[in-house]
């Protein structure tokens, strides 16, 4: 199938893909879903012809601008058979899932580093497992933008897929080919696997055209609750021991200072007392000599006085 577009056509119209296995996905505002398509300029009709062989990818803004520039060059350029790429942008803020009839289902999980987690392409409100015969196809979009339409599309040792039986009640039933991507298991979880995993379910009839199940894996960081629980008692005991040790050291220092200050005070008092004792002993060592000296001086003065009278 080919679709011809002319200059001025809306990008939203260009992104409409018929008979696709994975339809338009649902993303947050910062996520961008794009449709990669090949265009060729015709000398006669002057349109860029859209080829159906396309793949949905998630692109960075600089890549998008480059591809849009090529697309405009394809439409307005004068070079014959000029091939380029179109990245049709879908931003959830402007083009929501309600516009394409998709139903949204959300899961959030938080696991420790290097753990293993399983994510099913299902939701309690959707119940894909109860009616697998209604499912036409399942596709996954990983956090790095990788699209997985079949088991052979992804060769990664940390990702494995498990299918679902056609008859879930049967112990040894046949696996449904459409549901061979029903369960995604991610092992050895690391930062490069943090983010949103999108699973797109296309129905044959009944529940609507598509359903999108979003799994948020460690979106706000890994889970450290087990480590906190494991080391909480040790940390508590260590903190109490450190506090007791500091209290003991502080008490010893205080006792030492008080004891030394008392000894210094006693030694000072003893030193003052010994000095006073020496002074008092020196004064009282010759008391008789002092009295005699005083008496002699007094007699000498009396004699001088008498002499002065008789003259």
How far apart CA 245 and CA 239 sit, in angstroms, is 10
Tens of pLDDT along the chain (311 residues)?
Answer: 444 544 444 444 333 333 333 333 343 333 333 333 333 333 333 334 433 333 333 344 444 555 555 555 554 444 433 333 333 333 333 334 344 456 788 899 999 999 999 999 988 888 888 877 788 889 999 998 888 988 888 878 899 998 876 665 555 555 667 788 899 999 999 999 999 999 998 888 755 668 899 999 999 988 888 888 888 888 889 999 999 999 999 999 988 888 888 777 777 667 666 656 555 555 555 555 455 555 555 555 555 544 444 44
**pLDDT reported for residue 167:** 62
Tokens of 191: 């930062």
How far apart CA 276 and CA 268 sit, in angstroms, is 13
Query: What is the number of other CB atoms lying within 10 angstroms of the CB of residue 68?
Result: 17
What is the model's pTM? 0.49
Nearest to 88 by CA among 22, 145, 34, 52: 34
Q: What totals of helices (H) and strands (E) does the chain contain, helices first?
A: 4, 13
Q: The dihedral of CA 146, 150, 156, 157: what is its sign?
A: positive
Tokens of 296: 């002699």
Taking a C-beta distance cutoff of 8 angstroms, is the pair 33, 96 a contact? no
Nearest to 138 by CA among 120, 117, 121: 121
HSE-up of 20 (CA within 13 Å, CB side)? 22
Q: How many angstroms from the chain centroid is the CA of residue 172?
A: 43
Residue with tokens 């008859």: 167
Pairing of strands 102-109, 210-217: parallel
Tokens of 242: 């450190």
DSSP strand E in 94-242: where? 102-109, 117-120, 135-141, 147-148, 159-162, 183-186, 195-203, 210-217
- Length of the chain measured in residues: 311
| Type and span of the H or E element at 259 | helix 225-284
DSSP annotation of 285:
S
How far apart CA 281 and CA 291 sit, in angstroms, is 17
| Type and span of the H or E element at 37 | strand 33-40
SS (HEC) of 137-153:
EEEEECCCCCEECCHHH
**pLDDT reported for residue 272:** 67
Taking a C-beta distance cutoff of 8 angstroms, is the pair 109, 186 a contact? no
Residue with tokens 């112990």: 171
């Amino acid at each position: 199938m080919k679709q011809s577009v002319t200059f001025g056509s809306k990008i939203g119209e260009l992104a409409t893909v018929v008979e696709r296995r994975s339809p338009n996905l649902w993303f947050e505002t910062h996520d961008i879903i794009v449709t990669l398509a090949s265009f060729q300029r015709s000398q006669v009709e002057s349109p860029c012809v859209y080829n159906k062989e396309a793949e949905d990818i998630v692109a960075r803004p600089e890549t998008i601008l480059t591809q849009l520039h090529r697309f405009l060059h394809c439409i307005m350029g004068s070079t014959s058979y000029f091939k380029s790429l179109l990245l049709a942008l879908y931003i959830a803020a402007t083009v929501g899932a309600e516009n394409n009839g998709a139903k949204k289902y959300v899961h959030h999980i938080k696991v420790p580093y290097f753990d293993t987690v399983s994510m099913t392409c299902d939701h309690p409100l959707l119940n894909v497992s109860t009616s697998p015969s209604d499912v036409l196809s399942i596709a996954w979009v990983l956090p790095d933008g990788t699209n997985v339409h079949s088991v052979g599309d992804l060769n990664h040792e940390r990702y494995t897929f498990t299918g679902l039986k056609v008859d879930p009640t049967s112990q040894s039933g046949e696996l449904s080919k459409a549901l061979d991507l029903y369960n995604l298991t991610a092992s050895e979880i690391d930062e490069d696997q943090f983010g949103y995993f999108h699973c797109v379910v296309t129905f044959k009839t009944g529940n609507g055209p598509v359903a999108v199940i979003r799994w948020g894996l460690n979106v706000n960081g890994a889970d450290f609750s087990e480590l906190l629980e494991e080391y909480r008692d040790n940390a508590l005991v260590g903190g109490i021991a450190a506090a007791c040790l500091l209290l003991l050291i502080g008490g010893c220092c205080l006792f030492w200072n008080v004891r030394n200050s008392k000894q210094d005070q006693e030694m000072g008092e003893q030193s003052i007392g010994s000095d006073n004792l020496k002074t008092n002993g020196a004064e009282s060592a010759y008391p008789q000599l002092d009295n005699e000296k005083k008496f002699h001086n007094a007699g000498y003065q009396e004699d001088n006085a008498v002499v002065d009278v008789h003259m």
